[in-house]
Amino acid sequence: MTDLKFVPTTCPYCGTGCSFNLVVKDGKVVGTAPAQRSPVNEGKLCPKGMYSFEFINSPDRLTQPMIRKNGELVPVSWDEATTYIAENLKKYKPSERCALSSARVSNEENYVMMKFARGVLKTNHLDHCARLCHSSTVAGLAGSFGSGAMTNSITDISESKCIFIIGSNTFEQHPLIGRREVMAKQNGAKYIYADPRRTHTCGPADLFLQFHSGTDVSLLNGMMQIIIKNGWEDKEFIEKRTKGYEDLKNIVMKDEYSVENVAKVTGLDPKDIETAADWIANSGATALIYSMGITQHTVGVDNVHACANIQLLTGNLGKRGAGVNPLRGQNNVQGACDMGALPVSFTGYQKVTDPASHKKFEDAWKFPDGIAPAENGYEVTIMMNVLTDNPGELKAMYIMGENPLLSDPDINHVKEAFENLEFVVVQDIFYTETCEYADVILPAVCFAERDGTQTNTERRVQRWHKAADGPGETMEDWKIISMVAAKMGYADQFAWNDISEIFDEVAELTPQYHGMSYERLSHADALHWPCKTPEDPGTPILHKEKFLTPDGLGVFLPADWQPPAEVPDAEYPLQFTTGRCLFHWHTGTMTRRSATLDSEVPTGWIEINAEDAKEIGIRDGEMVRAITRRDSLTVTARVTSTIKKGTTFMPFHFIECPANLLTHNALDPVCKIPEFKACAMKVEKI
């Protein structure tokens, strides 16, 4: 008799966190099936979620630990691999070790990696891919509101009276949140879309602001000047719930931000800027929704502050249908940040430099020789700079579920950095580009083969359930790290019998998760943090009564507009920006091993405006050479009128035309996010 099971889980791709069932036949995952239990997606899925089962049984899965011996990767036992890792890591000083955690594994496994880095490696040089997507959100919103997370819930978006999307291609990157934007529009909301590309998300727009990439602060400051000049600001909200309003006016009321000047900088019609400002201020409840179009700039934190400022100015916070809503990228990037997989904080953003927090974790963990000192570590982008600029300072890196050789800016620079490492461990489900540099490769299970929790973009903590065993000798990430920790002499600190015991430890140490348990999270409508007591129903909307800043006030943090670090010039006349597409995910390790998804979009391309293409003499479908000051590559041209003249775009999923060979690693000075969204390029006919 066929053994058919339906096992509930959440999607391994974007931060929306859609729920569905994995269909398991005779112990093997063979499909997905809808599950209506979660209000996030109400049984619906986008193509990535629907076909997320296809990579699970790929013959490319890593199945055995391997050690590089005389240049060749040789299969070994778990005992030999973990002993080898422990012996090598022990050779280095704490300051020479660093680690990358992962937004694709569970909260519990991020916590275990955080504990391993700080307690075993004794280093704060710990980071993960949030550095590349939303570190400006975490830093920016923490300053403005006291919390660096999405303020409202996904379901709440459909309650909005005005949807203002800036720098987010929601329909392709977070399709089931895009559904909520459409629902709001169907309920009568105004719909404003601001982006250099006319993407699918533009479809329902009442107003399309096709502005130049990298001019967000100018646009938002200009809108705020219009709002103040017309008396549309929410005076009572500003008076009672904010501070720094005079600082804001000192910046945004400058002549530089008159609508005429902003129109010149952004390339927009002044009337459209005025209309957008009117709708944002006067609709009653405006939801500002953004993604990496806002964050991935050298002024990423300023951009985020500008988003917060306009919502503070118009009183669009702490109420239904409003808020500042950053859409996080990876499925568990919110959770990885919450779990302290960052160089500056323990779980719940408790700072490593705060003596009380440091003592709290040192006391709780009971490492006989203490934990990493109370000082900030390096961000992943700074790790790469240190490796190239100061060889020998960092020597060993432990990587769990990250692929910096394809995801990080200026790949040649990343390669140079990795060449300067003496010892590299990679723990993953597939052989990635980064594995080329690994001394040890450890095979992990994938999302379908483990229990655990993840936290989606709206701070909702959700359960994963194990549907099948992983192939070969694969193992859960927390068990692998615990084995290495034991080999390094710290078995007692990693002696959990079950992953739920790790969650209990997280809840004990993390105020936002304090009232949660596996039992409570087993219910369909799982909990939004903060959830501080077992009776607390969770918090779908933040900042209702007061902000999470020390004095409870929202803070206006204005800034002047600054252009991108590299702007087009006579030699490189085009502005290059990068992103993703509907059918693929990040570096393609999973989606490119899904036959259905990969057959829909089998390779990369460069989008170029039809007028620019005509000037260069390029036709649609021709191979062209895309060149920046970093490198060049050959790629198929997609000639279109949907992208703003002067702008080019490439998705970064494809190793055969890797967009990040061309991007540069100029960083935001505060959060160290790279400027993926703007650099100078030229395109040549071949």
**Rounded to the nearest whole angstrom, what is the least distance from the CB of residue 550 to ligand SF4 in the complex?**
35
Among 9, 16, 215, 266, binds ligand SF4 (CB under 6 A): 16
- Cα-Cα end-to-end distance for the chain: 60
Binding span for ligand SF4 by CB under 6 A among 40-48, 98-106, 240-248, 668-676:
40-48
* Interaction between residue 8 and ligand SF4 (CB under 6 A): no
Q: Check the CA dihedral 627-213-324-143 and report its sign.
A: positive
| Least distance from ligand SF4 to the Cβ atom of residue 80, Å | 38
Closest separation in Å from C-beta 594 to ligand SF4 = 12
Among 136, 56, 86, 143, which Cα is nearest to 326's? Answer: 136
**Residue/partner pairs of 506-513 with CB below 8 Å, 24 or more apart:** 506/107, 506/108, 506/111, 506/339, 506/347, 508/364, 509/346, 509/347, 509/348, 509/360, 509/361, 509/364, 510/338, 510/347, 510/348, 510/350, 511/348, 512/338, 512/348, 513/338, 513/347, 513/348, 513/461
Tokens 């806002």 found at: 294
For the bound state, the minimum distance from the C-beta of residue 166 to ligand SF4, rounded and expressed in Å, comes to 20
Is 293 a binder of ligand SF4 (CB under 6 A)? no
Which residues within the stretch 530-589 sit at the binding site for ligand SF4 (CB under 6 A)?
none
Residue 462 touching ligand SF4 (CB under 6 A): no
Q: Please work out, in degrees rounded to the nearest 5, the angle formed at the alpha carbon of residue 410 by the alpha carbons of 406 and 416.
A: 85
Percentages of the chain per state (helix, strand, coil), in multiples of 5: 35, 20, 45
Which residues are 426's β-sheet partners?
399, 441
Nearest distance, CB of residue 14 and ligand SF4, angstroms: 3
Burial, 172: exposed, middle or buried (Cβ in 10 Å; 0-12, 13-18, 19+)? buried
Minimum Å gap between C-beta 467 and ligand SF4 is: 16
Between residues 50 and 262, which has the closer beta carbon with respect to ligand SF4? Answer: 50
Per-residue contact string for residues 126-165; x = within reach of ligand SF4 by CB under 6 A: ----------------------------------------
Query: What is 321-341 written as a DSSP string?
Result: T-SEEE--SBTTHHHHHHTT-
d(CA 133, CA 296): 6
CB burial readout 220-242, b (16+ within 10 A) else e: bbbbbbbbbeeebbbeebbeebb
Q: Which of 7, 18, 421, 601 binds ligand SF4 (CB under 6 A)?
A: 18
Candidates 171-179, 261-269, 444-452, 615-623: pick the segment binding ligand SF4 (CB under 6 A): 171-179
Question: Smallest gap, in angstroms, from Cβ of residue 109 to ligand SF4?
Answer: 19
- Scanning 45-53, 83-91, 516-524, 655-663 for contacts with ligand SF4 by CB under 6 A, the matching segment is 45-53
Would the CA dihedral through 44, 46, 51, 53 be positive or negative? Answer: negative
Cα distances (Å, whole numbers) of residue 650 to 46, 168, 358, 405, 603? 22, 15, 43, 17, 11
Structure tokens at 403: 């692929």
Contact region with ligand SF4 (CB under 6 A), list: 14-22, 234-242, 368-376, 392-400: 14-22
User: CB nearest ligand SF4: which residue?
Assistant: 49
Residue 502 contacts residue 453 (beta carbons within 8 Å): no
Residue 15 or residue 443: which is nearer to ligand SF4 going by CB?
Answer: 15
- For 519-526, the CB contacts below 8 A with 24+ separation are 521/453, 521/461, 521/462, 521/463, 522/463, 524/19, 524/37, 524/38, 525/37, 525/38, 525/39, 526/38, 526/460, 526/461, 526/462, 526/463
Output 177 or 438, the one with its CB closest to ligand SF4.
177
Beta strands in 58-148, from DSSP E residues, in sequence order: 66-69, 72-75, 97-100, 126-127
Size of the site for ligand SF4 (CB under 6 A): 14
- Judged by CB under 6 A, the residue of 174, 319, 514, 593 near ligand SF4 is 174
Distance between CA 685 and CA 619 in Å, rounded?
9
Q: 522 φ, ψ to 5°? A: -75, -10
User: CA angle, corner 147, sides to 141 and 148, nearest 5?
Assistant: 50
Write out 420-431 in H/E/C secondary structure: CCCEEEEEECEC
CA distance 430 to 586: 14
CB of 181 to ligand SF4, least distance (A): 12
Interface segment toward ligand SF4; rule CB under 6 A; list 7-15, 186-194, 269-277, 367-375: 7-15
Minimum Å gap between C-beta 218 and ligand SF4 is: 32
CB of 348 to ligand SF4, least distance (A): 24
Q: Which is nearer to ligand SF4, 34 or 204 (CB)?
A: 34
Query: Which region, judged by CB under 6 A, interacts with ligand SF4, from 43-51, 109-117, 480-488, 606-614?
Result: 43-51
Look up residue 525 and give its DSSP letter. S
Closer residue to ligand SF4 (CB): 45 or 157 = 45
Among 7, 8, 9, 17, binds ligand SF4 (CB under 6 A): 17
Regarding 512 and contact with ligand SF4 (CB under 6 A), the answer is: no
175 binds ligand SF4 (CB under 6 A): yes
49 near ligand SF4, judged by CB under 6 A: yes
User: Which one, of 673, 667, 664, lies nearest residue 631 by Cα?
Assistant: 664
- Interaction of residue 340 with ligand SF4, rule CB under 6 A: no
Collapsing DSSP states into helix, strand and coil, what is residue 197? strand
Convert residues 612-641 into a mask of x (bound to ligand SF4 by CB under 6 A) and - (unbound).
Answer: ------------------------------
For residues 477 and 475, give the distance between their C-alpha atoms in angstroms, rounded to a whole number: 6
Sole window of 42-50, 147-155, 436-444, 561-569 interacting with ligand SF4 (rule: CB under 6 A): 42-50
CB nearer to ligand SF4: pick between 149 and 681: 149
13 binds ligand SF4 (CB under 6 A): yes
Q: Smallest distance from the beta carbon of 18 to ligand SF4, in angstroms? A: 3
179 vs 212, beta carbon nearer ligand SF4: 179
Residue 6 or 496: which CB sits closer to ligand SF4?
Answer: 6
Give the DSSP H or E segment for 554: strand 554-555
Closest CB to ligand SF4 among residues 48, 592:
48
Q: Per CB under 6 A, does 333 bind ligand SF4?
A: no
What distance in Å separates the CA atoms of residue 428 and residue 103, rounded to the nearest whole number?
A: 12
Contact flag: residue 11 with ligand SF4 (CB under 6 A): yes
Contact residue for ligand SF4 among 149, 176, 252, 288 (CB under 6 A)? 176
Of 638, 557, 324, nearest to 458 by C-alpha is 324
Instruction: Output 17 or 377, the one with its CB closest to ligand SF4.
Output: 17
For residue 351, how many other CB atoms are within 10 A of its CB?
14
Nearer Cβ to ligand SF4, position 46 or 574? Answer: 46
Q: How far is the CB of 333 from ligand SF4 (least distance, A)?
A: 12
- Least separation in angstroms between residue 16's CB and ligand SF4 is 4
Q: Do residues 302 and 217 touch, judged by C-beta distance below 8 A?
A: yes
| Residue nearer to ligand SF4 on the CB measure, 41 or 82 | 41
Is 21 an interacting residue with respect to ligand SF4 (CB under 6 A)? no
**Would you tell me which residues interact with ligand SF4 (CB under 6 A)?**
11, 13-14, 16-18, 41, 45-46, 48-49, 174-176
